[in-house]
Amino acid sequence: MYDPTVARLTYRALLGRRRALILGALPLLLIVIAVAVRALTGADDQTATDVLGGFALATMVPIIGVIAGTGAIGPEIDDGSVVYLLSKPIKRPTIIFTKLIVAIAVTMVFSAVPTMIAGLILNGNGQQIAVAYTVAALVASIAYAALFLLLGTVSRHAVVFGLVYALVWEALFGSLVPGARTLSVQQWSLAVAERVAGGDLVTSDVGLTTATVLLVVVTVAATWYAGQKLRTLTLAGEE
């Protein structure tokens, strides 16, 4: 199910100079914000929750997910170099699964690690807030990577759709229409974080059971479907 060569090619494509810069920019911004907030207001649990929930989990994690998830396969399909993977005796679902693992790993490293660091800077993990949001970022990384990998497999405009989902649906629509929150990776991962933090600061609109089921279903279904789409992927001719 996992092909180390496919993984190596995907890592190198994802962590190429330009993309690595984009991936590194947001985490750096988060840490700068954390340092500034801590310096200006001192350690405060509510502020830590606001920064980690409002910026790290709501904005940074999905955007990193979009870049890593769509970037793990989209550019190869766009420029046609995916033909070198497809013309090999390797099961197409293996290619997708391997790319998913890579996308998850990259999303986790570029989102969960800086979340943890920012949390420690903001309030020194008081009330387990840093750990709770780090766990949320880890969980969200899996679902986002799977969703955006599928998007990268089926659409040439995956980055645009991904950003629209991440920013409009998760951030804007979710804050206006309560029902939309049930169908939000962010809320599902918050349900897990709520359990970790235990206090009243980290809350989710979705129950833990529902959240877990939805996370698993979305991740598995997206990965399976991406594998099927790759099996019948039509490489457009030059004509």
Partner 1 sequence: MTTLSIDHVSRWFGNVVAVNDITMTIGPGVTGLLGPNGAGKSTLINMMAGFLAPSTGTVTLDGQPVWRNEAIYRHIGIVPEREAMYDFLTGKEFVLANAELHGLDARAAQRALATVEMEYAQDRKIATYSKGMRQRVKMASALVHDPSLLLLDEPFNGMDPRQRMQLMDLLRRMGDEGRTVLFSSHILEEVEQLAWHIEVVVAGRHAASGDFRKIRRLMTDRPHRYLVRSSDDRALAAALIADPSTSGIEVDPAEDALLIQAVDFGRFTTLLPRVARDHGIRLLTVSPSDESLESVFSYLVAA
Tell me whether residue 58 or residue 103 sits nearer to partner 1 (CB atom).
Answer: 103
Residues 170-229, interacting with partner 1 (CB under 8 A): none
Query: Quick one: which segment of 40-48, 134-142, 186-194, 230-238 binds partner 1 (CB under 8 A)?
Result: 230-238
Report the distance separating Cα 212 and Cα 115, nearest Å: 21
Query: Quick one: which segment of 5-13, 24-32, 64-72, 184-192 binds partner 1 (CB under 8 A)?
Result: 5-13
Tell me whether residue 102 or residue 121 sits nearer to partner 1 (CB atom).
Answer: 102
Tell me whether residue 16 or residue 42 sits nearer to partner 1 (CB atom).
Answer: 16
Residues 70-99, interacting with partner 1 (CB under 8 A): 79-81, 83-92
- 156 contacts partner 1 (rule: CB under 8 A): no
- 234 contacts partner 1 (rule: CB under 8 A): yes
Residue of the chain from 1, 179, 209, 239 that contacts partner 1 (CB under 8 A): 239
User: Which DSSP string corresponds to 170-219?
Assistant: IIIIHHH-HHHHHT-HHHHHHHHHHHHH-SSSS--SS-HHHHHHHHHHHH
CB of 219 to partner 1, least distance (A): 24
- 19 contacts partner 1 (rule: CB under 8 A): no
- 20 contacts partner 1 (rule: CB under 8 A): no
Question: Cβ distance 205 to 182 under 8 Å?
Answer: yes
Residue 131, CB half-sphere, CA atoms under 13 Å: how many?
9
Q: Which of 112, 101, 138 is nearest to 226 (CA)?
A: 101
Report the distance separating Cα 118 and Cα 209, nearest Å: 28
**C-alpha separations of 200 from 3, 122, 129, 156 in Å:** 44, 18, 11, 42
CB of 74 to partner 1, least distance (A): 13
Residues making contact with partner 1 (CB under 8 A) = 3-6, 8-9, 12-13, 16, 79-81, 83-92, 231-235, 237-239
